[in-house]
Amino acid sequence: MIILEKRPQASQFWSYGAPIVAVFVTMIFGAVLFAALGKPPIEALSKIFWEPLFGEFNFFYLPQLLIKGAPLVAIALGLSLGFKAGIWNIGAEGQYIIGALCGAAVGLALYPMEARWLVLPAMLIAGAFGGFAWAMIPGILRVKFNTNEILVSLMLVYVAEQLLAAMALGAMKNPEGMGFPGSRNLSQYSSASSWIDQGHGMHWGVVIALIAVIFAYILFTRHILGFQIKLAGQAPRAAAFSGVSPARLVLFCLGTSGALAGIAGLTEVSGPAGVVSIDFNVGYGFTAIIVAFLGRLHPVGILMAGALMALTYIGGDVAQSSLGLPKAAIQVFQGTLLFSLLGIDVLTNYRVRMKRGAVA
Amino acid sequence: MLRRTLLASAAAATLVGTSLGAQDVTKVGFVFVGPVGDGGWTYEHNQGRLAVEAEFGDAVETVFVESVPEGPDAERVMTQMALEGADLIFTTSFGYMDPTINVAAQFPDVMFEHATGYKQADNVSVYSARFYEGRAVQGHIAGQITESNVIGYIASFPIPEVIRGINSAYIHAKEVNPDVEFKIIWAYTWFDPAKEAEAANVLIEQGADVILQHTDSTAPQAAAQAAGNVYTFGQASDMAEFGPMPRVSSIIDDWAPYYIARTQAVMDGTWESTSTWDGIGPGMVGIGEISDAIPAEVKASAEDMISRLASGEYHAFTGPINKQDGSAWLAEGETAADYTDDGLAGMNFYVEGLTAEIPQ
């Protein structure tokens, strides 16, 4: 009989090994799935993982990895702060939308001013503030009234989506758009565009995501606040005794993740997306939760996990168009990644033992 | 990675600059906004794709990607198709407009066809169908079969396409039944069976005994069937499996002739950038069989209207028609123009008599 035995200490080996094993398990599962759908399994996997990186058209796909990965990494980094401390911000999608709306509002209000040094920074600040303020709603409600931040932040996503629709159809509608919904194209307004080099997929969101990785790394390895966050997550009572203010921690973690999500939203709307449209958000805020866990809540891990997730999106589309794989199969494949990670994660804290004889 | 990107981009410049379509087989790509199994909008576009395959056999190769979000992802999917040698790409949702224009600019030798938009380029055509003609027929039938005088309308997004449909249905319902009242619910989705069913149930509770839908699933049909005494119309597909009650007729999108003609034009080298807006006459809009669940004289007058719309003898928007605020829109006998101010293409107002407001 197989039993699970709790380890006295979390296994260092499995803590790092689990994501890698999970990726392999996902590949095997994917191969079986694709074969069952009547598609060549090895070719399908190579379309997903190999083609974008080393294929004939990688000059196009590699920059796309930056575009797709940057918002995932930026948002996941912010979320990881809270997740480590046991503060669950599930509403990054909403903060992403509000950040985009606030930043875009500034950009559209200043249109057509020719002052990139002023317009883009003002938009960035407004975007960060928008995300921050939206995250403060669950933050303050939790601190003052002890509400559940999971529910409040999640519900605010739907509020944000309604606001987005209202803006795309109303206040922010392009006056030259013949009555169609959607704002002016911010990426074509040179003072507001977040692009640095479009051909190489470089925009300010990419730069800020990379800077955030470095800051998060320093925070966790060198700064007392990083220590307090980890302590609050692992031993809340010990944290309280050592003088960590839970309220301050909640506001810091939610605020920072909100601001990062807001910046991600703003750099997306003024770059790759271009316009405030009804369905501007495509789920980065939710996918980032997977990225945060896949990356072990570690800044460098998140960077790699974000790149991997972006790869499955881009490669998934390649497999769809070149092999006719249905979208649902790709989504099952992505979902398996998190599922197998969580499954294999058991090995970090538990040991598998074989035990002889049945126990009544 | 960065260096590889830079080197590869140089290759890209030359590759993109030269012709990609040197092969004998014509490759046609389709970008779909929903899943091909939605039974409505995307399903019918996919039927068009299959018709192209059936028509040309081995002379064409078709590829498609489904459920592509309307933003940067769409741009990536289109670029990917163009890189992989597509000669002609159909982008089948309004939100693909800017991405189509952007990608088309980078691939002058690839032809693009954008559905329901208004931006053209040398290698971008636009095409849409005059669905409002079908809506006129629906309104004409609905106004006569309703007993509660309340007609429910499940609308998707407040864009001109949808508003045109509401206006057209209302004008023709009112024409045959001055007491008729429209209740409109905005679902903010093209395809979401759960939301659509909920909307249908709310409308039924509010007394609607005819439900028109501008969303693609059969969920409202199922809800009406469960309620018993409620009539519906198929949307995008015939939805004949719900006939003869609740489904009494339908609007059917038939893209096949257009897709075949445009593919032929690319093969012959005669493709030109055009703007196509076809209705019942040329067959782009089909009216599904009117079932025997409605009185014979209603059926006869509806069929008369269909033939008058098809021949061009009657225009669905013929004055006198006032706007909702009471100001004059069309004078006696005047018909609505397509692309003027207050024209059909950018319609963003209700006609007189509708009590709801367009969400802003």
pLDDT of residue B147: 95
Does one domain contain both B187 and B317?
Answer: yes
Is residue B47 situated within a structural domain? yes
Sign of CA dihedral A246, A254, A292, A326: positive
Q: Give the model's pLDDT for residue B160.
A: 86
Alpha carbon of B146: minimum distance to chain A alpha carbons (Å)? 32
pLDDT number for residue B12: 45
What does the pLDDT look like over B149-160, one tens digit per residue?
999 999 988 888
What pLDDT shows up at residue B105?
92
Which chain A residues are closer than 8 Å to B79 by Cβ? Answer: 60
Residue B343 lies in a domain: no
Which residues is A141 bridged to in the sheet?
Answer: none
Q: Range of B142's domain?
A: 131-250+284-330
pLDDT score at A359: 53
Contacts of A320 in chain B (CB under 8 A): 64-66
Verify that B300 and B321 share a domain, yes or no. yes
Per the structure, the count of domains in chain B is 2
Q: What is the mean predicted confidence (pLDDT) over A272-280?
A: 88
Instruction: Pick A57's closest partner by Cβ from B68, B83, B346.
Output: B83
Across the interface, do A321 and B63 touch by the CB < 8 Å criterion? Answer: yes
pLDDT given at position B192: 87
pLDDT, mean of residues B152-176? 93
In this structure, the answer to whether residues B215 and B77 fall within a common structural domain is: no
* Cβ A360 vs Cβ A312: under 8 Å: no
Task: Tell me the nearest-neighbour CA distance from B177 into chain A, angstroms.
Answer: 30
pLDDT digits (tens, 9 = 90+) for B201-243: 999 999 999 999 999 889 999 999 999 899 999 998 888 889 8
Structure tokens given for B173: 């319902």
Cβ separation B94–A180 shorter than 8 A: yes
Q: Around Cβ B13, how many Cβ atoms within 10 Å?
A: 10
pLDDT of residue A357: 60
Residue B15 has a pLDDT of 45
| Residues contacting residue B113 through CB under 8 Å, at least 6 positions apart | B88, B89, B90, B91, B124, B125, B126, B127, B262
- Do B103 and B204 belong together in one domain? no
**Once rounded to an integer, what is the mean pLDDT over residues A127-134?**
97
Domain boundary among B72, B98, B129: B129
**With 90 as the cut, is the pLDDT of residue A106 above it?**
yes
Q: Is the pLDDT of residue B9 over 50?
A: no
When pLDDT is cut at 50, 70 and 90, the band that residue A225 belongs to is confident
pLDDT of amino acid A346: 81
Strand segments, DSSP code E, in chain A are 2-6, 195-197, 202-203, 350-354
pLDDT tens sequence across A310-337 = 999 999 989 988 888 888 998 899 889 8
pLDDT of residue B1: 36
Compute CA distances B113 → A140, A232, B9, whole Å: 50, 56, 27
Task: Give the residue from chain A lying closest to B157, CA to CA.
Answer: A278
- Residue B117 sits in a domain whose CATH number is 3.40.50.2300
Summarised one tens digit per residue, pLDDT across range B20-54 is 444 579 999 999 998 888 778 899 999 999 999 99
pLDDT band at B14 (very low <50, low <70, confident <90, very high): very low
Whether B2 is covered by a domain: the verdict is no
Neighbours of B282 (CB within 10 A): 15
**What is the predicted pLDDT for the residue at A112?**
87
Does the beta-carbon distance from A180 to B159 stay under 8 Å? yes
Q: How much is the pTM?
A: 0.82
A180–B346 C-beta distance less than 8 A: yes
By mean pLDDT, which of A15-24, A145-154, B117-126 is the weakest? A15-24
Find which of A122-136, A169-183, B282-296, B330-344 is predicted with most confidence, using mean pLDDT: A122-136
Instruction: Enumerate the domain spans of chain A.
Output: 73-293
How much is the pLDDT for B5? 42
Asked if residue B137 and residue B114 are part of one domain, the reply reads: no
Q: Is there a contact between A100 and A268 (Cβ–Cβ < 8 Å)?
A: yes
pLDDT at position A199 is: 82
pLDDT at B4 over 50: no
- Given B105, B129, B153, the domain boundary residue is B129
B76 CB neighbours in chain A (<8 A) are 64, 67-68, 314, 317
Which letter does DSSP use for residue B38 in this model?
G
- The mean-pLDDT minimum among A75-84, A140-149, B3-12, B62-71 falls in B3-12
Q: What is the pLDDT of residue B11?
A: 41
B165 within domain boundaries:
yes
Average pLDDT of B189-204?
Answer: 92
A295 and A191 in contact (C-beta within 8 Å)?
Answer: no
In percent, how much of chain A has pLDDT > 70?
Answer: 98
Residue ending a domain, choose from B80, B104, B129: B129
Record: contact B347-A179, CB cut-off 8 A: yes
Residues B106 and B144 in one domain: no
Choice between A209 and A296, residue whose per-residue pLDDT is larger: A209
Residues B185 and B322 in one domain: yes
State in Å, rounded, how far the first CA of chain A is from the last one.
Answer: 12
